[in-house]
Structure 1
Amino acid sequence: MNLTVVPTLEPLAYHRAVVGYLTTSEPEIWAWAMAQETRGEQVEEVRATLLRQNYRLDAAAHPEIYEDCRAVLAVLAVEAPVTIYQAPDTTMNAALWYVPGEIHLVLYGPVLEKLSRVERVALFGHELAHYKLWSIEGGIYHVATTVLDHVLAYPNAAPSHAETARIYRLSTELYADRGGAVAANATAPAIATLVKTMTGLLSVDAEAYLRQAAELEATKPVAEGVTHPEIFLRAQALDKWWRADVDLEEWLTERIRGPLSIATLDLLRQQDMTAMTRAVLARLAKDPAARGEAVAAQLRRYFPDWGPDETPIDAAALAPARIDAATREYLIALSFDLAMADPDDRDAMLVAGARLAQDYDGLAAFREALKRDLKMNRQAITRLLAPLDKVSA
Structure 2
Amino acid sequence: MDSHAPNRHALAPLAYHETVADYLRRHEPDVWRWTGERQTHAEQLESLRASLLRETYRIDADAHGNVHAALALAMERLGIVDVPATLYQSPGTQMNASLVFVPGEIHILLQGPVLERLAPEELLAILGHELAHYVLWSLDGGRFLTADRILSDAVAAPGGADSHRETFRRYALHTELFADRGGALAADAVAPAVSTLVKVQTGISTVDAAAYLRQAAEIESNESGASAALSHPETFIRARALALWWDGEASLDSWIDTRLHGPLSLERLDLPGQARLQALTRGFLAHYLDGASLASDAVLAQVRMLFPDWRDDEPVAGPDAFDAAGVDDSVRSYLNALMMDLALADPDQRDVALLRAGQVARSLGSLDALQLNLRRDAGLGKRELERYKRQLAEEKDA
* 1:54 lines up with 2:56 in the alignment: yes
1:254, distance to aligned residue in structure 2 (A) = 1.6
Amino acid across the alignment from 1:181: A
Structure 2 counterparts to residues 13-24 of structure 1, below 5 A: 13-24=15-26
**8 A Cα contact 1:351 1:385, kept in partner:** no
Partner of 1:103 in structure 2?
106
Amino acid across the alignment from 1:61: A
- Structure 2 distance, partners of 1:182, 1:253, is 23
Q: Deviations over 1:310-332 (max 9, x none)?
A: 11103321011211222121111
- Structure 2 distance, partners of 1:64, 1:388, is 75
Structure 2 counterparts to residues 152-167 of structure 1, below 5 A: 152-167=155-170
**8 A Cα contact 2:173 2:232, kept in partner:** yes
Match of 1:201 among 199, 204, 207: 204
Secondary structure at the residue paired with 2:177?
Answer: helix
Amino acid across the alignment from 1:113: E
Structure 2 counterparts to residues 1-393 of structure 1, below 5 A: 1-6=1-6, 8-79=10-81, 80-217=83-220, 218-390=222-394, 392-393=396-397
1:219, distance to aligned residue in structure 2 (A) = 2.7
Secondary structure at the residue paired with 1:89?
Answer: coil
Q: Deviations over 1:290-344 (max 9, x none)?
A: 1433222222222222221111103321011211222121111111111111123
1:354, distance to aligned residue in structure 2 (A) = 2.4
- Structure 1 distance, partners of 2:26, 2:348, is 44
Of 84-93 and 145-154, more deviation after overlay is shown by 145-154
1:212, distance to aligned residue in structure 2 (A) = 2.0
For residues 132 and 355 of structure 1, do their structure 2 counterparts lie closer, same or farther at Cα, with a shift above 3 Å needed?
same
Amino acid across the alignment from 2:158: P
Amino acid across the alignment from 1:287: G
Secondary structure at the residue paired with 2:324?
Answer: coil
Amino acid across the alignment from 2:46: E
For residues 373 and 219 of structure 1, do their structure 2 counterparts lie closer, same or farther at Cα, with a shift above 3 Å needed?
farther
Identity %: 45
Superposition RMSD on alpha carbons, in Å?
1.7
**8 A Cα contact 1:9 1:175, kept in partner:** yes
Unaligned runs of 5+ in 1: none
**8 A Cα contact 1:320 1:361, kept in partner:** no
1:377, distance to aligned residue in structure 2 (A) = 4.0
**8 A Cα contact 1:119 1:193, kept in partner:** yes
**8 A Cα contact 1:33 1:143, kept in partner:** yes
**8 A Cα contact 2:4 2:247, kept in partner:** no
For residues 375 and 236 of structure 1, do their structure 2 counterparts lie closer, same or farther at Cα, with a shift above 3 Å needed?
farther
Secondary structure at the residue paired with 2:88?
Answer: strand
Amino acid across the alignment from 2:165: A
**8 A Cα contact 1:289 1:348, kept in partner:** no
Please, what TM-score do these two structures have when normalized by structure 2? 0.94
Unaligned runs of 5+ in 2: none
For residues 4 and 163 of structure 1, do their structure 2 counterparts lie closer, same or farther at Cα, with a shift above 3 Å needed?
closer
1:373, distance to aligned residue in structure 2 (A) = 4.1
1:379, distance to aligned residue in structure 2 (A) = 3.8
**8 A Cα contact 1:125 1:184, kept in partner:** yes
Amino acid across the alignment from 2:35: A
Q: Deviations over 1:101-130 (max 9, x none)?
A: 111111111111111111111111101000
Please, what TM-score do these two structures have when normalized by structure 1? 0.95
**8 A Cα contact 1:3 1:185, kept in partner:** no
Secondary structure at the residue paired with 1:96?
Answer: strand
**8 A Cα contact 1:6 1:182, kept in partner:** yes
Secondary structure at the residue paired with 1:85?
Answer: strand
1:378, distance to aligned residue in structure 2 (A) = 4.3
1:83, distance to aligned residue in structure 2 (A) = 0.9
For residues 216 and 360 of structure 1, do their structure 2 counterparts lie closer, same or farther at Cα, with a shift above 3 Å needed?
farther
- Structure 1 distance, partners of 2:214, 2:184, is 18
1:4, distance to aligned residue in structure 2 (A) = 4.7
1:385, distance to aligned residue in structure 2 (A) = 2.9
For residues 302 and 118 of structure 1, do their structure 2 counterparts lie closer, same or farther at Cα, with a shift above 3 Å needed?
same
Amino acid across the alignment from 1:103: I
